Structure 1
Amino acid sequence: MPNLTVILLLGLINTTEVTADTHWSLQPMTRTAIPNNSHPIDFFIEQKLEEKNLKISPPANRSNLLRRVSLDLTGLPPSPTEVKAFIDDPRDTKVVYAETVDRLLASPRYGERWAQHWLDVIRWAETVGFETNAERALAWPYRDWVITALNSDVPYNRFILEQIIGDTVGADAALGFLVAGPANLAGQIGRDEEAMRSARQDELDEVIRTVSQSLLGLSIGCARCHDHKFDPILQRDYYGMQAVFAGLKYGERRHRGQQNNAWATQVEPAEKQLTKLHHQLEALRLKHGLRPALKTIHTEHFKPIQARSIRMTIKATGNGKPASLYEFEVWSTDQQNVALASTGAQASASSFALANQSRHFENLIDGLIDKRQSYPWVADKPGPAWIRVDLTQVATIERVVWHRGSTMLADYEIEILPADGRAQVDWQRLVHTEDRLPRIDDTRSADKVNLRNLTLEQTRTLLTLIDSVRQQADKLAHLSAGPQVYAASFEAQPTPTWLLRRGDPMQRLEKIAPTIPALLGSMNLKSGAAEPHRRIELVKHLTNREHPLTTRVLVNRVWQHHFGVGLVSTPSDFGRMGATPSHPELLDWLALEFISQGWSLKKLHRLIVNSRTYRQSSRPRAQALRVDANTRLLWRFPPRRLEAEAIRDSILFVSAKLNLKMGGPGFDFFNQRGGLSDYTALETFEEEGWRRMIYAHKVRMQAVDIFSAFDCPDSGQMRPHRTRSITPLQSLSLMNSPFVNRQARFLAQRVRSEAGDDSKTQIDHAFALVCSRPPKWAEKKALLKLVKQHGLEQACRVLFNTSEFVFIQ
């Protein structure tokens, strides 16, 4: 590790001295010839070992090998039945093992396991992070897309293509890759021009960091404000990459595909049903002499949320006249208008027209939505204006209704102050005109004032029908919009990209054309190049068979997850400050072989796990430890602790409670979603919460119960390499966790059911379930004593706390 003086001196070095001609990762890949009778991986590993007078260790025994490869490829241990069949098979171990590898790679559990590794790299989550930490309710289809792509062994070059230009090939969910990172979106930190420009720069910076670090292993984002301090990446290169994505927008987009086509067939029947309900409603209105709903009444629905204040900002009107409203209602989930002056709510506004100064703000919230019974609020001039309503108390609200009179609101947004006791909190946006779907107006507000002359039964009939109209209108709007997904969308003609002085969005220097960093070549595009041509050219560059980084970075990541450390120990930094490869010839050979095998990840896994290097024992040897204590030369299989997700999944698998439901919205680890309030972790889970942990709703900036002790990240930063600490807190967490203790009870129940009442048989079976082997005599003796004194459940707690259970070895 260089000291501070060295780091400072390195920072002063002219980066032009480090070029594509001098740095190892930018050199063309070369393929070393391999002897015909050698496994290529073993050939390179043994070469390095011989230099240190070391040898590969003997093969691991069958039970250890099966457990290792099962956890590696699927994140789950083998069942006792699988272990017995593997051990008892009389054929050569290589043959039996190769068949087992094929079975594991064909399992849907493989995609779930390896998708988590990819999501770590791009720090995918279902909230935006930062102070608001707002929901990305439809981000989960991207996670499902990754799992499906891996299970289907989509070629890696296609995997890249769909994540960058998925909109051109019908893979909309794949575009979640580009907007996976945290983002403080425009308008959340301020609405002045500088704040909006800064937020936009931050949005695009997240995209550049995701693409460059995950696919290229380069920190291009470090050149945002100045030339890169260590790598030959200029500030111009950074903005050239930004120009590639200049048309990108964060948010929800239509999710095309088979599901979308199924929805389309339901639109016409839904329209007919809505027309039928409208006719029934009109007949009732005529029968009872009710006035029709006002067409100037509008409704915005949203998911229920707690609020104490609500603000509507009107940015523009359809006719350019000053904004005006007759009434503003806020409806709670128990169908009460909580914005009534008569109950203590207070209204305020940015301005009032002089002619209307005699009109009190309370007219906005007097409950009289018919303009003939109320007076309007009118702004003093055209342009932006706002109204605000402070509720009497915190309420859970689900929609707002307003009567606009004759002035159409062309651009508006609705925000709330959440139910938070802090003095300073930001407004949280709920609704914007850009997000609004076509929707039939909610009619309940319009009819509320007309029901006083009806009987109770007539009122019930009418309100039931009105509710049916609203629900059917919602259904139709939902179907017409089609399935949605949180993913990148793109403007047809992106705005120009500027080189910024010191990264300051207010100091533009010159327009920049879309391109890649000069050290990697060029794309020969003009600054006005259209979408999606910019991204298409980038994909062509990234998937070029001769690209020096794309496949090197990928095979290194795969190697890392099989052996704990990559051939390059800095998996997302192949630049000058990253590590050099421990086995450079092997890295190049694997990268080129990966391409020749059709960019197939499963073939790469098969090649690695079938090597003697992977299949060797993990037992330490004193002489080898003295030479290579960190096992970088791979004289043995390097044991490592499982990640938090694999530990939780394995606990559920062993207790027979693992829910293997795949896909769809995730289960919750916390008692709420979204908002600024603190999240409280749930301690009890039922069947939905017993799914694999990759299907948990992923919240940034929140620790996940006991599994944070096992270094489970919060997705605020990229995690190309998980921390693998070993601390007493981990044992204490497993021993005292309500979740683990409950699963220990379930495991004890399973053991009794499957092994009977004999304590010795129970211990044998519990050990086989948890550790994939029979217990040694000393282990069995100790557990028999524990069972006799404290019961089988406590023995199961102890087994969950063994190193053997939480380690791959």
Structure 2
Amino acid sequence: ALDLTGLPPSPGDLERLRRDPSDAQFDRLVDRLLASPAFGERMAAYWLDLVRYADTVGYHGDQDHNATPYRDYVIDALNDNKPFDAFTVEQLAGDLLPNPTHEQKIATAYNRLLQTSHEGGVQAKEYLTIYAADRVRNVSAVWMGATVGCAQCHDHKYDPYTAKDFYALAAFFADIDEAQHFKVGTNSLPTKRPPEMAALSRVARLQLDTLEQERLRAVAEGPPSKVQALDQAIEQLRNQSARLVMVTQSIPAREIRLLPRGNWLDDSGPIMQPQVPEFLGHLETEGRPTRLDLARWLVDPHQGAGLLTARVMVNRLWYLLFGQGLSRSVDDFGGQGEAPSHPELLDRLALEFVTSGWDVKHMLRLITSTRTYRQASLPTAWQRAEDPANRWLSRQNRFRLPAETVRDSVLSVSGLLVREVGGASIKPYQPAGYYRHLNFPPRKYVPSRDANQWRRGVYIHWQRQFLHPMLRAFDAPSREECTAMRAVSNTPLAALVGLNDPTFVEAARALALQCIEQGDAATGDDRACLTAMFEHCTGRVPTADQLQRLEHLLGAARAEFSHSPEQALRSLEVGLFHRPSSHSPVEQAAWATVARALLNLSDLMMRN
């Protein structure tokens, strides 16, 4: 469940597996998880790392930009199991397809996700060079697992990519209108925005379709007053739900030259035409090759780099399911990368990916159906001695969950998680003054003041220069560059966040109230309630020693809050969650203390 949806298994799923641990029951669970809307959210979080999605421009003032409909596109595409080759083409060149749909135009926001500057004094020529290099680095990293960025100043030292290859790839993106990123005329004029279009979430589109169907029936059958009322409702929904999204707008291609040593001031290099890396083949087109030609080449297994793309992506799917890829260098398939531990398996899976029609869900279903995936992660003494890094897959791996999954798991077990899919970014609680050095213009962080506070982590506002402290403590990237594998640290910061972050404190209060009202605490059976709370959080029954420690913690918390009831009241005021209860503040605060301890167990931080 954590691997495929980023959420802990439901009590119902655990009970079904306890009653029937057969492969058939496990297969049915996998099918349910793949069909869940949470699947797209989980997989989207990883894709957004790859394409360096953020809600802000990155450079200088790090102002907001409009990109959230692109995130919705990714989630919907993954939930709909859009073939990966179509997924690729729509993002790189959806605007160049014949009669592109609204969705395909939104997909081209991929080309707008790079770091940009809206500062008035930048040199346009310098930043056009920076943007071109950024795009080459990202496309080559995401689809080819290559470090082509090393060839910006000189031929690659370890791989056969040349500086000529680098600037030929940059030329594919020379038709993207970049002028909007720079001031026009004097610095007193406002910065122009990128080309934008209005976008509705999937829920809003469905609501709009329903209202428009009702309007058609009203025109045929109902009174004019009903038609007028429906017109107002439709207009209101459009105004409330529409969000702007940056899109790609093609213009006549700019001249791209090979820059000696990457120096943007030196125009002495030759003019480059769009072309793929020379050692990987040659694009034959009637006219100037376009982004559409590049996108199709990347997923063409016969005349293009499709098999390389397939190997790169399958290795990353394996990484998501095992915590490490068959090649552990999931971001570098070049000469400096680590060779795969099972090269024949990687090749076989890549061929399966292509022949399945680039079916992501099929590949995940295939891998999770294997005995290798379904092994336990607890190593034996022999495995520790003979295969300490588990390169021979003698067991499953145990690894720390991504930041968003940690937060989602805590909200899920507490009952606070809001499962609404798609929409604008949300702002969790954040320490006051955290944005004090964020200027041009100065900004004041205003956290979400409604149920959006408890939505999934994939929707958190991603401020590149000042990433949310909880995300930073759990090693989420700033998304300035492609991140194929997040770093994992082990510092006290993560524990301090788990104990003191208002989201975690609030979730503990909700969990405590849920348990003492539904459990046996009201009757004075602390052991039964503690056992139920522990099992609810971890999916397993506590040992006698664990239960004894929880009883001691509960007793100590009761004594402390009885001595200082005002402290109990203060602890219950954290966050937006408030529900009347017949239990005293002292009792609620004591049980919340136990819940905070449980929510900080490794069971909710680790994938076992």
TM-score bracket, shorter-length normalisation = 0.7 to 0.9
Q: 1:801 aligns to what?
A: 600
Q: Is 1:78 matched with 2:6?
A: no
SS in 2 for 1:485: strand
8 Å CA contact retained: 1:176, 1:487: yes
SS in 1 for 2:265: coil
8 Å CA contact retained: 1:683, 1:739: no
Amino acid paired to 1:519:
F
SS in 2 for 1:599: coil
- Give the structure-2-normalised TM-score: 0.80
- Counterpart among 518, 528, 531 of residue 764 in structure 1: 531
Q: CA RMSD in A?
A: 2.8
8 Å CA contact retained: 1:704, 1:712: no
8 Å CA contact retained: 2:465, 2:478: yes
Alignment of 1:548-563 (within 5 A): 548-563=307-322
Report the Cα distance in structure 1 between the residues aligned to 2:126 and 2:35, rounded to whole angstroms: 46
- The answer to which of 765-774 and 514-523 deviates more is 765-774
Q: Is 1:88 matched with 2:19?
A: yes
Q: Is 1:524 matched with 2:323?
A: no
Q: 1:662 aligns to what?
A: 421
Alignment of 1:569-718 (within 5 A): 569-669=328-428, 675-676=439-440, 686-718=450-482
Tell me how far 1:743 sits from its aligned partner: 1.3
| The structure with more radius of gyration | 1
- Give the structure-1-normalised TM-score: 0.61
Report the Cα distance in structure 2 between the residues aligned to 1:639 and 1:796, rounded to whole angstroms: 24
Tell me how far 1:779 sits from its aligned partner: 1.6
- The answer to which of 729-738 and 588-597 deviates more is 729-738
Report the Cα distance in structure 2 between the residues aligned to 1:635 and 1:594, rounded to whole angstroms: 24
Alignment of 1:533-544 (within 5 A): 534-544=290-300
Once the two structures are superposed, residues 769-795 of structure 1 have per-residue CA deviations (whole angstroms, 9 ceiling, x without a partner) of 210122222222221232233232111
Q: Is 1:216 matched with 2:144?
A: yes
Report the Cα distance in structure 1 between the residues aligned to 2:514 and 2:444, rounded to whole angstroms: 31
Tell me how far 1:751 sits from its aligned partner: 0.8
Alignment of 1:336-351 (within 5 A): none
- The structure whose residues are more often strand, as a share, is 1
Q: 1:320 aligns to what?
A: none
- The answer to which of 161-170 and 740-749 deviates more is 161-170
Q: 1:108 to 1:130 in 2, by over 3 A?
A: same
- The structure whose residues are more often helix, as a share, is 2
Q: 1:485 aligns to what?
A: 245
SS in 2 for 1:615: coil
8 Å CA contact retained: 1:252, 1:487: no
Report the Cα distance in structure 2 between the residues aligned to 1:640 and 1:586, rounded to whole angstroms: 23
Tell me how far 1:94 sits from its aligned partner: 0.3
Report the Cα distance in structure 2 between the residues aligned to 1:101 and 1:699, rounded to whole angstroms: 34
5+ unaligned residues in a row in structure 2: which ranges?
198-231, 558-589
Amino acid paired to 1:626:
A
Report the Cα distance in structure 1 between the residues aligned to 2:406 and 2:62, rounded to whole angstroms: 27
The structure, 1 or 2, with the larger RCO (C-alpha pairs under 8 Å, 6+ apart) is 1
Amino acid paired to 1:697:
H
8 Å CA contact retained: 1:76, 1:653: yes
8 Å CA contact retained: 1:179, 1:207: no
8 Å CA contact retained: 2:143, 2:312: yes
Report the Cα distance in structure 2 between the residues aligned to 1:724 and 1:109, rounded to whole angstroms: 24
Amino acid paired to 2:37:
P
8 Å CA contact retained: 2:58, 2:117: yes
8 Å CA contact retained: 2:13, 2:29: no
8 Å CA contact retained: 1:250, 1:488: no
SS in 1 for 2:70: helix
Tell me how far 1:241 sits from its aligned partner: 0.7
- The answer to which of 556-565 and 517-526 deviates more is 517-526
SS in 1 for 2:258: strand
Tell me how far 1:507 sits from its aligned partner: 2.1
Q: 2:492 aligns to what?
A: 728
5+ unaligned residues in a row in structure 1: which ranges?
1-69, 254-311, 316-384, 389-412, 415-428, 438-471
Q: 1:780 aligns to what?
A: 547
Alignment of 1:49-198 (within 5 A): 70-89=1-20, 93-136=22-65, 138-167=66-95, 168=97, 169-170=100-101, 171-184=104-117, 188-190=120-122, 195-198=123-126
8 Å CA contact retained: 2:59, 2:116: yes
Amino acid paired to 2:154:
H
Once the two structures are superposed, residues 517-550 of structure 1 have per-residue CA deviations (whole angstroms, 9 ceiling, x without a partner) of 0011111358x72xxx512211221111243411
Tell me how far 1:514 sits from its aligned partner: 0.9
8 Å CA contact retained: 2:319, 2:325: yes
Amino acid paired to 2:107:
A
Report the Cα distance in structure 1 between the residues aligned to 2:465 and 2:260, rounded to whole angstroms: 32
Tell me how far 1:687 sits from its aligned partner: 1.4
- The answer to which of 175-184 and 584-593 deviates more is 175-184
Amino acid paired to 1:98:
D
Amino acid paired to 1:514:
P
Amino acid paired to 2:164:
R
Q: Is 1:242 matched with 2:176?
A: no
Q: 1:314 to 1:707 in 2, by over 3 A?
A: closer
Tell me how far 1:684 sits from its aligned partner: 8.2
Amino acid paired to 1:100:
L
Alignment of 1:482-521 (within 5 A): 484-491=244-251, 493-508=252-267, 509-521=269-281
Tell me how far 1:252 sits from its aligned partner: 9.1
SS in 1 for 2:257: strand
Report the Cα distance in structure 2 between the residues aligned to 1:654 and 1:115, rounded to whole angstroms: 22
Amino acid paired to 1:157:
D
Once the two structures are superposed, residues 156-207 of structure 1 have per-residue CA deviations (whole angstroms, 9 ceiling, x without a partner) of 111111111211232111112222221236x6443xxxx2211111111111
Report the Cα distance in structure 1 between the residues aligned to 2:113 and 2:51, rounded to whole angstroms: 7
8 Å CA contact retained: 1:178, 1:211: no
Q: Is 1:744 matched with 2:516?
A: no
Q: Is 1:205 matched with 2:140?
A: no
Report the Cα distance in structure 1 between the residues aligned to 2:537 and 2:184, rounded to whole angstroms: 61
Q: 1:217 to 1:251 in 2, by over 3 A?
A: farther
Tell me how far 1:651 sits from its aligned partner: 0.7
Alignment of 1:417-432 (within 5 A): 429=191, 431=192
Q: 1:654 to 1:680 in 2, by over 3 A?
A: farther
Report the Cα distance in structure 2 between the residues aligned to 1:688 and 1:314, rounded to whole angstroms: 38
Once the two structures are superposed, residues 17-66 of structure 1 have per-residue CA deviations (whole angstroms, 9 ceiling, x without a partner) of xxxxxxxxxxxxxxxxxxxxxxxxxxxxxxxxxxxxxxxxxxxxxxxxxx
Amino acid paired to 1:77:
P
Report the Cα distance in structure 1 between the residues aligned to 2:447 and 2:257, rounded to whole angstroms: 50
How many equivalent residue pairs? 520
Report the Cα distance in structure 2 between the residues aligned to 1:173 and 1:314, rounded to whole angstroms: 26
Q: 2:562 aligns to what?
A: none
